[in-house]
Chain A
Amino acid sequence: MMEEDILCPFCGCLCDDIKVEVDEGRIVGVKRACRLGMSKFMGHERIAAPMVRRDGELVETSYEEAYERAAQILKAAKRPLLYGWCSTVCETAKMGILLAEEVGGVIDSTATVCHGPSIIGIEEKGLAGSTLGQVKNRADLIVFWGANPAEAHPRHTLRYSSNSTGMFTPEGRGGRKVIVVDVRRTRTAKNADKFVLIRPGTDYEVIAALRMIVKGKGDLLPDAVAGIAKSDLEEVADMMKAAKFGAVLIGLGLTHSRGRYKNVDGALSLVADLNGFTKFVVLAMRGHYNVAGFGQVCAWETGYPMAVDLSRGAPYFNPGETAACDLLARREADAMMVVAADPASNFPRKTVEAMAEIPVIQVDPFPNPTTFLSDVVIPTAVCGIEAEGTAYRMDGLSLRMKKVVDSVYPTDEEVVENILDRVRRLGDDN
């Protein structure tokens, strides 16, 4: 049977037009998905059963014991860190925030090591954005800054940006200009009308120079900025001002490089400035399919989108103090629960060493290096394939993910709820 209009639980594009062929409860074919989505739908090795660490070894156990051990770890901790939440649905995030309240923990998402600096930039400046369909229908200039959708969001260009067609963009790529700014000639850059190669860590200078040119102060600039000829930057500024609708799509090139949130602040400010001349929007190219969703849920529940400390009962937010990497780097977290993420792979080595020193609970469908460091491992169903729920696309649009096949595993939400339930019972006993 062919299931239509399935959402893809991989990247922030959250494509919702996937066709999945199901035969006797198994996925046997996938159409329209990119290589990343295809690989997700067709499946990977799974964690077979719950495990707990005994005498230094992970050994299989029952879900009941795994929940109990997880609850004991969280309950015993003084500064538990509940981290991840981006490759799962919003319903899991809601339950996770409640659990974090209950144990007086810190809850943080993978956003802090991806577009977290973008969120801080938005706190400084605000974000002039739109849905992706607005870019598809109107944009005649696309700027990818530190973003490489050809590798990270393969269908982005066709569905939403450079190669898409819409009401005012019937010619698609032919009617658009594409500018790429990056530190290397990426596959995305190879498709650009104008590629600006910058040195790593100079985004802020280049953006600041562009802002000066756009605002008519270009004569104050030297002949070259961060190694880029002024004439090159003037050409970019002219292209921007000549556009009827420009879209700046920012990637981790900004957030992971020197300047971090200040780079994003600069990009958001540039776009605000450009609106004095023509129409411009800016969007962050969010990575995981629901990293945006955790931020939304966390904001409406706690007031803040990430790195929320609930140890004092009232939410407290100060990334740099309350973000996962900071808590670990300071050896402050004394237990960690990881849901739908793999910090052991994605955090700097020194930070991972701190993780190895504390009890870790993992909730995830797939084995990964975080499994190595875990004391309790609880396998779950894959959201968007084996479980339904809500996800937010990179532009903030919420969509309902479907269940395509049955699973023997509980959902992430059920697992977190079970742990919460046991934490509450432990609380009653005391």
Chain B
Amino acid sequence: MVIILKAIMISGRTLGQGASLEAKMSPEFFNATSTCAISESDYNALGISGDENVLVRTEFGEVVLSARKDDGLPPGVIFIPMGPWANAVVGQNTGGCGCPLFKGTEAEVEPTKTRVKDVCELFADLKGLGGEGS
């Protein structure tokens, strides 16, 4: 049985994301931002095993991220650092004020064996890049 968690997704800054902000091709940026923080109880409920990632799905898209526990998060809220992985599931509507809703998207989370895409793969389908981005 696949367990699906319904949660509110928020994105935001972290120290690791910030420190690698201008080194987006680096492994540090990948490690810092392609990750989804989940409350301890939700994490345990999802039954994520050591080699598993999570698939986060919203009405705007889906993305695979590594998962980690965060004791600061309340149940039902997940956090993804600002960056292209988070934005894969953010909607483009600005509500008439120029700014998308980067925090507060309804999401579904489930464990997955799928690998996390690296930054090149994330953009591989755009501009006819075919994965040859860098």
A interface with B by C-beta (< 8 Å): 10-11, 35-36, 38-40, 44-45, 56-57, 87, 108, 112-114, 116-117, 120, 148, 150-152, 154, 183-187, 189-190, 197, 199-201, 252-253, 255-258, 260-261, 287, 306-307, 319-320, 322-326, 328-329, 342, 344-353, 356, 365-369, 372-373
Known: A320-B94, A347-B87. A255 touches B99 (CB 8 A): yes
Q: Choose from A44, A326, A329 the contact partner of B22 (Cβ within 8 Å).
A: A44
B interface with A by C-beta (< 8 Å): 8, 10-15, 18-26, 60-61, 70-74, 77, 79, 82-84, 87-104, 119-120, 122-123, 126-129, 132-134
A to B CB contacts below 8 Å, 18 in the list: A35-B15, A44-B22, A45-B23, A56-B128, A113-B99, A114-B99, A183-B74, A252-B12, A252-B13, A252-B102, A256-B102, A256-B103, A257-B10, A260-B95, A346-B82, A346-B83, A353-B126, A372-B129
Chain A hits for B24, CB < 8 A: 342, 345, 366-369
Known: A11-B18, A185-B71, A319-B97. A346 touches B126 (CB 8 A): no
Chain A hits for B12, CB < 8 A: 148, 151-152, 252-253, 256
Q: Assess whether B99 is in contact with A256, with CB atoms less than 8 Å apart.
A: yes
Q: Assess whether B25 is in contact with A45, with CB atoms less than 8 Å apart.
A: yes
Chain B hits for A184, CB < 8 A: 10, 70, 72-74, 77, 79
Task: Tell me the complex Cα distance, A319–B97, Å.
Answer: 5
Question: Would you give the shortest CB distance from A9 to chain B, in whole angstroms?
Answer: 10
Q: Assess whether B104 is in contact with A258, with CB atoms less than 8 Å apart.
A: yes
Question: Would you give the shortest CB distance from A10 to chain B, in whole angstroms?
Answer: 8
Question: Would you give the shortest CB distance from A18 to chain B, in whole angstroms?
Answer: 16
Q: Choose from A113, A152, A366, A372 the contact partner of B100 (Cβ within 8 Å).
A: A113
Q: Choose from A36, A256, A326, A369 the contact partner of B119 (Cβ within 8 Å).
A: A369
Given A39-B18, A148-B12, A320-B95, 7 more contacts at CB 8 Å? A117-B97, A184-B72, A186-B72, A200-B8, A325-B92, A348-B92, A366-B24
